[in-house]
Amino acid sequence: MLMIGTMMAALIQVLDSTIANVALPHMQSALGAQPDTVTWVLTSYIIASAVALPLTGWLANRVGTRRLFIASVAGFIITSMMCGMAQNLEEMVIFRAFQGVSGAFILPLSQSSMLDATRPSKHAQVMALWSLGVVIGPIVGPVLGGWLTENWNWRWIFYVNVPLGAVSLTILLAQLPATESKDRPFDFLGFVLVAAALAALQMLLDRGPQVDWFDSMESWIYVGIIVSSMWVALIHFTAVEHPLFDRHLFADVNFSVAMVLMVLTGMVMFANMALLPPMMQNLLGYNTIDTGLLLMPRSVGVLFAMQFAGWLVRRGVDSRIMISGGMILLSYSLYQMSGWSLAVDRFHIITSGVIMGVGMGMAFLPINVMAFSTLAAYLRAEGSSLLNLFRSVGSSIGISIMMALFSRNVQVSHSDQASHITGNIAGVLDFSTVDRYQSIGEVALRVVDGEINRQAAMIAYIDDFHVMMWLSIATLPLVFMLKAASQPTYSAPPSGH
């Protein structure tokens, strides 16, 4: 029952990070917002969540994991209701920020709670369950959001959290064991520095495409805040007695390498999930429901792979081999996708999706297992918050970079293809005489331009798939920096901690 309650809490939090994307046009008209301001519904949630995540370890020590977890789930339910009742954009942005803060603690606490509630021999099995929700949630989110928006109302993308959250909260109140609180000093300066860097990074990724990236002074201001804050934070964390993040976390090789792997895999996995739905709907002509059904098979691949990977870990198979195999499968699926065209059929979409799902499941679970295999138990809550923070940052960076590359490559491909359009197209249309046909000639030119746009967009998507393929391959050398699982050198806080 505790596993069910914990998993439900994690699932509603992960779902909410993507479920609102498809409902933005409906929110825009209902809240009286503009296209460039309605995106703050997404941005406010992401920034608030990223800023709050580093507090997880300190708060878990200060008030206890049980109290913080229950308060987070309760807060997430209340703020979800508030988002559903918002009457204007200002209210929605504020409520989404509160939702991001309350939801920020759910994922790391759900992960550490599941680890604390089970024996080390069962950690691979419970991580398979936890990772399943984290990976499948972003896949199901847009589909569920589209279905609720089309058949009910966009407000139900928030109201759906209420019954699920209530069940989870009831189970947690009854089953979650109590934990001791520790009087740990709060590193206020460290938190301010990290929060400033994370907020500036999210603003840069969100505002970059709108202000033409580094051609704008605004982007350079964000870069200055990021670099200066992180530089001062690095010096600060090495100098103070009680830093925001326990230094023993970074002394653990497996955990440090796992954080880097989380950034890279987050960039590939979540950027791919963000690119496929618009490609299938705008270029291939599928509606929201069909798009969801065609993307569902990758969830089946994830489900199968995670259970299989958990079984292999319990049988003593080296996790590094599984991570490498998963990344190779992920690379192969992206290689297949880089050979797509506008005529790609359902079979190839489903096949590559299943292979990608298997690769994601084979890689994501062992990374989480290896990250905690040598980590002391008292560091799990803080370590889980850092791991989730790096995954979130990686996904934001990946989505932003791939979208920027897509926009640029669409323009380049359009220009390249347009230069090959001669004055006589297949002997049907002569540009020199197009004025004779007036509106008919204009329609013909628009049809030609529309087809060039479609081809250019498809080429840009293929280019993105190529980049993600090479990013997946680039993670392989890092995998072999991981060490075989062993007992942590200390299981309780060292004296003076």
In tens, the pLDDT along 66-104 reads 888 889 999 999 998 988 888 888 888 888 889 888 888
Q: Do residue 4 and residue 153 come from a single domain?
A: yes
Q: What is the CATH number of the domain that holds 344?
A: 1.20.1250.20
* pTM for this prediction: 0.75
Is 455 contained in some domain? Answer: yes
Statement to judge: residues 144 and 235 lie in one domain: no
Task: Please give the torsion angle defined by the CA atoms of residues 385, 388, 393 and 395, in that order, rounded to the nearest 10 degrees.
Answer: -170
Range of the structural domain that residue 35 is part of: 1-186
Amino acid at 448: V
Question: Are 25 and 111 members of one domain?
Answer: yes
Residues 159 and 251 both lie in one domain: no
Q: How many structural domains does the chain have?
A: 3
- pLDDT tens across 279-319, in order? 887 888 887 677 777 877 887 888 788 778 878 877 778 88
**Contact status, residue 156 vs residue 346, Cβ threshold 8 Å:** no
Is residue 48 located within the same domain as residue 117? yes
pLDDT (0 to 100) of residue 442: 60
Domain C-terminal end among 145, 168, 186: 186
Please tell me the predicted confidence (pLDDT) of residue 75.
Answer: 92
- Give domain status of residue 494, yes or no: no
DSSP characters over 149-186: HHHT-TTHHHHTHHHHHHHHHHHHHHHPPP--------
Residues 6+ apart with CB under 8 A from 195: 51, 54
**Cα–chain center distance at 97:** 17
Q: Identify which of 26-30, 161-165, 224-228, 313-317 has the greatest average pLDDT.
A: 224-228
How confident is the model at residue 421, as a pLDDT?
67
> Which pLDDT score is estimated for 487?
44
Structure token digits, residue 283: 């270029």
Is there a single domain that holds both residue 139 and residue 112?
yes
Clarify whether residues 220 and 262 are in a common domain. no
Examine the domain organization and report whether 466 and 391 are in the same domain.
Answer: yes
- Is residue 426 included in any domain, yes or no? no
pLDDT for position 331? 92
Are 465 and 347 in a shared domain?
Answer: yes
**428: in domain:** no
Residue 493 domain-assigned (yes or no): no
Q: Are 159 and 81 in contact (CB under 8 A)?
A: yes
Classify the C-alpha dihedral 224-226-227-233 as positive or negative. Answer: positive
Indicate the residue among 186, 204, 221 that finishes a domain: 186
pLDDT in tens, 385-422: 788 788 878 887 887 788 888 888 888 887 877 776 66
Domain-located, residue 425: no
Does one domain contain both 145 and 36? Answer: yes
Q: Where among 186, 214, 233 does a domain terminate? A: 186
Kindly state whether residues 44 and 123 are assigned to the same domain.
yes
Computed over every residue of the chain, the mean pLDDT equals 80
Q: Indicate the range of 21-35, 140-154, 244-258, 436-450 predicted with least confidence.
A: 436-450
- Within this chain, do residues 355 and 254 fall inside the same structural domain, yes or no? yes
Taking alpha carbons only, the member of 471, 488, 134 closest to residue 306 is 134
Residue 495 covered by a domain = no
Residue 421 lies in a domain: no
